[in-house]
Structure 1
Amino acid sequence: MPPHQDLRRRSGTPPRRVPVRVVAISLAALLLAAVGLGAALASHPPAAADTVRVTRPDDRPLRVLFVGDSISYGLNAERQDLGFRPLMVDALSAGGPVQEFHKNRAGATTRSVSRLLNVPKNLDLAVVELGTNDVVDQTAPDDFAGSYRSLLLRVHTESPRVPLLCVGTWGSAGGSDGSDTYNAVIEEECARQGGAFVSLYGLYPIAANRGPAGRDVFGGTSDRFHPNDTGYRAIADLLLGRIVR
């Protein structure tokens, strides 16, 4: 039998060669597609999780950080221990000791609170409730995003695996104050860090969760904006419901 090369010669059909230019164009197209996909992923990051899993250490108290504004402070509650933060600590303490860290400043923006915060190490849970005063002060959305992102990164630098609960602003959806823009930033930045975004839009419109104005309360005299005892209990229950233990 003749060698295989003779068979190829008799066929009269030389092997097809792909021009170098076509190969180069194809590779360039693939590269552009990859870049486009990367840009799309960057502009549309994964949605924030619905829940976070908190694991209680066997050899020490559960270390929990709260960062926030007047809502974390508990302004308008009848007593300080009726704010959502103390209520959450009490509930978490049912499973064992809790060591609480907090930094909250009434009327402060995210950047202002971040400057005051010394982030502890070895945290087991971090609750970040900021953005409402950025809505009120109309902080530029890009500036707000930068401040919020920087704060979350600082928390994760000190405690790389800490579960994050990112609480939305106290207000209503679709408001003329533009709060939707700020909540979108919170949700996006929280997703980048693997945290759970918790919107308060379902609680603020309920009249029983706010006011009435003019009462003697923790922090001074009550107003119609901040949560009351019922509102703070609702916030605490909402956040606790997002923690898997």
Structure 2
Amino acid sequence: MSNGGYKTDKKATIIAFLLLIITVGVIVSGVIKDSKREKDNEKIAYAYEKKQLGKEKSNKIQVKRNKEQDMKNIGRGKTLKYIAIGDSVTAGYSASSQDNFYVNKIGARVTANMGFQVQQNNMGKRGAVISDAINNINEINSYAPDIVTIEYGTNDSNINNNISTNIFENELNTLIDDLTIKVKRTPTIILMTTWNVNYGEKYDEVINRVGQNRKIPVLDLKPIWTDKTNMGPEGNRDYYGVSDDFNPNDKGMNSIANAVYEKLQPILYEKNK
């Protein structure tokens, strides 16, 4: 092979090598640019997402504030009639004053937090069973209540009264029918389970079942009465004379009122917004 051919091959090799380097450089440069572009796009997307999340968070906060403001004023200029039917727990035994009855505390909360004026009628009676409410249904309905709390089962479940769970369930449904269907009204009803009796579990099952079937909120009182600081002590002066170690004291009454109000508030809001 001549020197001229060797030089030509060498030159071609060098050119090819240079072209390869240039090609690799272009590819690497493109990859770097693409990577930078992706990172820039990610930064832009992140900033946008952060901005949108910030707006969403801000909007949620504003919506919450607006709802809270609406909640405080939703009842302005409106009156609600609240009737409480039940036994000694509803009547207020072992509370130090009428202001500490859970019934009165519920009314006070509805007024303070939602603006409604509440007219209360406490028909709680010591030793009462659910048939007592049925027998007094005309008096209850004549009040035309907007809110009704029903607290029975404690004395019904007592073996001395001999009221079976089947009868109790029938009577509870009858009472609800009498308060609603028969008078063509739709008051807000809150059911409560039995108070401070371990033998009331079967009756609690009935109350929960009726509540579920009829879409009526049920307040489980057991977590309150199993906390013994919510009752007694026996022998203190209370509104009726001397407290016992069975009925809720002022702390227990307050716990019941808080729990009822938590169930009541969203219903009243939806009905009046």
* TM-score with structure 1 setting the length: 0.70
Counterpart for residue 17 of structure 1: none
Residue identity opposite 2:151 in structure 1? E
* TM-score with structure 2 setting the length: 0.63
Conserved? CA contact 1:209–1:227, under 8 Å:
yes
Counterpart for residue 116 of structure 1: 136
2:117 to 87, 91, 97: 97
1:121 to partner: Cα distance: 6.4
Conserved? CA contact 2:104–2:120, under 8 Å:
no
Q: Which runs of 5+ in 2 are unaligned?
A: 1-73
Conserved? CA contact 1:123–1:159, under 8 Å:
no
Conserved? CA contact 1:130–1:168, under 8 Å:
yes
Counterpart for residue 170 of structure 2: 146
CA deviations 1:17-55 (Å, max 9, x no partner) are: xxxxxxxxxxxxxxxxxxxxxxxxxxxxxxxxxxxxxxx
With 196-205 and 95-104 compared, the bigger mean Cα shift is at 95-104
1:159 to partner: Cα distance: 5.1
Counterparts of 1:112 and 1:122, CA distance in 2: 18
Structure ranking higher in helix proportion: 2
CA deviations 1:139-166 (Å, max 9, x no partner) are: 2111111211111111113353222110
Counterparts of 1:159 and 1:79, CA distance in 2: 36
Conserved? CA contact 2:192–2:220, under 8 Å:
yes
Q: Which runs of 5+ in 1 are unaligned?
A: 1-55
Counterpart for residue 50 of structure 1: none
Q: Is 2:83 the partner of 1:83?
A: no
Q: Does 1 or 2 have the higher relative contact order (CA < 8 Å, sep 6+)?
A: 1
Conserved? CA contact 2:133–2:175, under 8 Å:
no
Counterparts of 1:240 and 1:217, CA distance in 2: 24
Where do residues 125-164 of structure 1 align in structure 2 (5 Å cutoff)? 125-136=147-158, 137-157=161-181, 158=183, 160-164=185-189
Judged with a 3 Å threshold, the aligned counterparts in structure 2 of structure 1 residues 222 and 58 are, in CA distance, closer, same or farther, namely: closer
Counterparts of 1:149 and 1:208, CA distance in 2: 33
- Give the SS at the match of 2:108: helix
Where do residues 1-245 of structure 1 align in structure 2 (5 Å cutoff)? 60-94=78-112, 95-117=115-137, 118=139, 119-120=141-142, 122-136=144-158, 137-157=161-181, 158=183, 160-171=185-196, 175=198, 177=199, 179-243=200-264, 244=266, 245=269
Counterparts of 1:73 and 1:225, CA distance in 2: 13
Judged with a 3 Å threshold, the aligned counterparts in structure 2 of structure 1 residues 188 and 104 are, in CA distance, closer, same or farther, namely: same
Judged with a 3 Å threshold, the aligned counterparts in structure 2 of structure 1 residues 218 and 121 are, in CA distance, closer, same or farther, namely: closer
Counterparts of 1:230 and 1:59, CA distance in 2: 31
Counterparts of 2:262 and 2:78, CA distance in 1: 24
RMSD, matched Cα: 2.1
Judged with a 3 Å threshold, the aligned counterparts in structure 2 of structure 1 residues 225 and 74 are, in CA distance, closer, same or farther, namely: same
Larger Rg: 2
CA deviations 1:153-196 (Å, max 9, x no partner) are: 11113353222110111126xx2x2x111011111222333210
Conserved? CA contact 1:164–1:190, under 8 Å:
no
CA deviations 1:79-122 (Å, max 9, x no partner) are: 12201001001111221211223322111111123212322465
Judged with a 3 Å threshold, the aligned counterparts in structure 2 of structure 1 residues 59 and 141 are, in CA distance, closer, same or farther, namely: same
- Give the SS at the match of 2:223: coil
1:68 to partner: Cα distance: 1.1
Matched-pair identity in %: 23
